[in-house]
Amino acid sequence: MIMSTLELSEIQAYLLHDYKEMGCSKYYLMQVNDNNKVAAKKFIADVANSITHANAEVKDTCLNLGFTSNGLKQLGYSEANMHTFSREFREGMVSPHRQRLLGDYYNSDPIKWQWGGPSNKRVDLILMIFGKNETTADNYFQELKQKFEPGFSVVHILDGKPLPNEREHFGFRDGISQPVIKGSGEPSKGFNNDINPGEFVLGYKNEYDVFPDSPLLVDDKVPGNKNLLADDPSGSSFKDIGRNGTYFVLRQLEQNVDGFWKFLKEKSKDEHGKTSNDEATKIAAKMMGRWPSGSPLVNHPDKDPFPAMDSDFNDFSYIKEDKDGLKCPFGSHIRRMNPRDHFEESTPGVSLTLTRRHRIMRRVRSYGEDFIGSAENHTPNGKVGLLFGCFNANISKQFEFIQYTWANSPKFKRLYSDPDPIIGVREDPEKKRGQIFTIPQETTNRVITDLQRFVTVRGGAYFFFPSVSVIKFLGTI
């Protein structure tokens, strides 16, 4: 059956809803206990009806879960069936190839990670609990712990919360240019932000007007209640495991807020060696492509408007308003992450089409102190950072493409030594790599030299977020 409307009661709600009303987020990274896999599967079967799906009424708590490839194997998923999943998911985030793609070297090397790396305990499942407050979330976890403890062990806990005042720790408003999934019931955001569901949910057509590759149950010798599964819509005799599921990318990103603003203030010095907080903020805005308020440079190139207008945040394009990058530099973070109508040298229409094929649904939480940095105040208490998450139906064409091709590559449009100044700068202790940020100007371009990395990866993994019915099936294997 070819689906045209979203089966919201089957789709885990975190894909469609950010749970911003939930003041506390706790991600429990868990491992199947080798000596009690039966209990692990029983818990999964029992908890399936408690999963917060996209049609559920959100109350005081929400619950979602995902599996790593190792987790599915631990539950008894056969090797033949595993090979129907995408290569990226099967290999996981930690492999030499992935390390090259994602740029995880030096301090971000997986060998130094706090979780998810080769030196850490195996992660099989992520149990995501959201609560109105920390007490509510903790109480819900204690209820679930009594059920999962024989079958699972918690190997790491990630405590998160919505971004303070919707700003990340460097001080900039975050999560503005989010796409809307067609058929989700969310209000339209216009052509470039209303995206076909197959870019995010398996079983639906994507921006190529085809169905994304979906894992199938090709080895029918695997025990379990296959009546819970839908047939492969392509007409094969296999059952569809991917339908209404998605892939979730999670990376823990520690932010060096103090180093970030000290670097910018150093670069703001005038000919007399005097620093300027206003100039440091302007350079930071050029790197981001937005002012701290979220207002885009394309609409406000000279200063941050107060108050910022929400209706102004996404109402812009590049070809008409800023073809030469004089307002928003080509190498700025937001211009790289979403080139809109100025993708390479393509026409605006082609550019919009190509850009739509590389969107992700971001789900971000902050951790550490509720701290919003600025040129005036940039020393938080303790470690702070982001739990960066995103949903996509194709990890390679979406998350990995964006990170490798648009963020990490120093060659972007007319640039040759400019990585993304926020998330693409590569640590180079041997000082053999010159990394710069170019600010186009009418006469001579301004160049910010010796870029430094202020974001360190502390952990990460790829997860499969199944539909509610598939979660029930996994509990019956």
Q: Per-residue pLDDT tens for 420-441?
A: 999 999 987 666 678 999 999 9
- What CA–CA distance (Å, rounded) separates 349 from 38? 54
CA-CA-CA-CA torsion sign (206, 55, 469, 49): positive
Give 209-261 pLDDT, tens digit per residue: 999 999 999 987 777 888 899 898 888 889 999 999 999 999 999 999 999 99
**Closest among 472, 464, 395, 462 to 81, alpha carbons compared:** 464
- What CA–CA distance (Å, rounded) separates 205 from 200? 10
Here the tokens at position 52 are: 């917060």
Classify residue 290 by its DSSP letter: B
CA-CA-CA-CA torsion sign (388, 318, 415, 262): negative
Q: Which residues pair with 27 in a beta bridge?
A: 128, 158
Percentages (nearest 5) of helix, strand, coil residues in the chain: 30, 20, 50
HSE of 107, CA atoms in CB hemisphere, 13 A: 15
Task: Identify whether the C-beta of residue 99 lies closer than 8 Å to the C-beta of residue 105.
Answer: yes
Element housing 439 (H / E): strand 437-439
Mean per-residue pLDDT, 99-113: 96
Per-residue pLDDT, 2: 44
Here the tokens at position 373 are: 């940095």
pLDDT band at 191 (very low <50, low <70, confident <90, very high): low
**pLDDT of 150 above 90:** yes
Mean per-residue pLDDT, 52-77: 96
Task: Identify whether the C-beta of residue 167 lies closer than 8 Å to the C-beta of residue 52.
Answer: no
**pLDDT of 455 above 90:** yes
**pLDDT of 472 above 50:** yes
Per-residue pLDDT, 170: 98
Lowest mean pLDDT among 90-99, 111-120, 305-314, 365-374: 305-314
Mean per-residue pLDDT, 458-473: 97
Give 6-60 pLDDT, tens digit per residue: 999 999 999 999 999 999 999 999 999 999 999 999 999 999 999 999 999 989 9
- pTM value? 0.96
Classify residue 407 by its DSSP letter: I
DSSP-derived 3-state class of residue 140: helix
Residues sharing a CB contact under 8 Å with residue 345, sequence separation 6 or more, in sequence order: none
- What CA–CA distance (Å, rounded) separates 292 from 376? 13
Per-residue pLDDT, 400: 98
DSSP-derived 3-state class of residue 460: strand
Here the tokens at position 469 are: 């019915």
Give 157-185 pLDDT, tens digit per residue: 999 999 999 999 999 999 888 999 999 98
pLDDT band at 4 (very low <50, low <70, confident <90, very high): low
Task: Identify whether the C-beta of residue 10 lies closer than 8 Å to the C-beta of residue 53.
Answer: yes
Helix boundaries (H) for 289-412: 319-322, 333-337, 348-356, 401
Mean per-residue pLDDT, 100-113: 96
Here the tokens at position 182 are: 């067609």
Q: Output 338 or 220, whichever has higher pLDDT.
A: 338
CA-CA-CA-CA torsion sign (343, 344, 350, 356): negative
Here the tokens at position 112 are: 């130094």
**Closest among 87, 58, 74, 79 to 121, alpha carbons compared:** 74
Give 359-411 pLDDT, tens digit per residue: 999 999 999 999 999 999 999 999 999 999 999 999 999 999 999 999 999 98
Averaged confidence pLDDT in the chain:
94
Which of 62-66, 76-80, 180-184 is most confident? Answer: 62-66
- Cβ atoms within 10 Å of 366's Cβ, excluding its own: 23
Mean per-residue pLDDT, 280-288: 98
| CA 376 vs CA 261, 275, 281, 379: distances in Å | 9, 11, 10, 10
Alpha-carbon radius of gyration of the chain? 23
Per-residue pLDDT, 234: 82
Classify residue 224 by its DSSP letter: S
Element housing 130 (H / E): strand 125-131
How do strand 180-181 and strand 194-195 relate by DSSP bridges?
A: parallel
pLDDT band at 315 (very low <50, low <70, confident <90, very high): confident
Helix boundaries (H) for 2-123: 37-47, 69-74, 79-82, 87-91, 96-102
DSSP-derived 3-state class of residue 410: coil
In one-letter notation, the amino acid at residue 47 is: V
Q: Output 3 or 419, whichever has higher pLDDT.
A: 419
Mean per-residue pLDDT, 297-318: 90
Mean per-residue pLDDT, 110-138: 98
- What CA–CA distance (Å, rounded) separates 286 from 201? 34
**pLDDT of 3 above 60:** no
Element housing 216 (H / E): strand 216-217
Per-residue pLDDT, 302: 95
Element housing 5 (H / E): none
Here the tokens at position 415 are: 């640039």
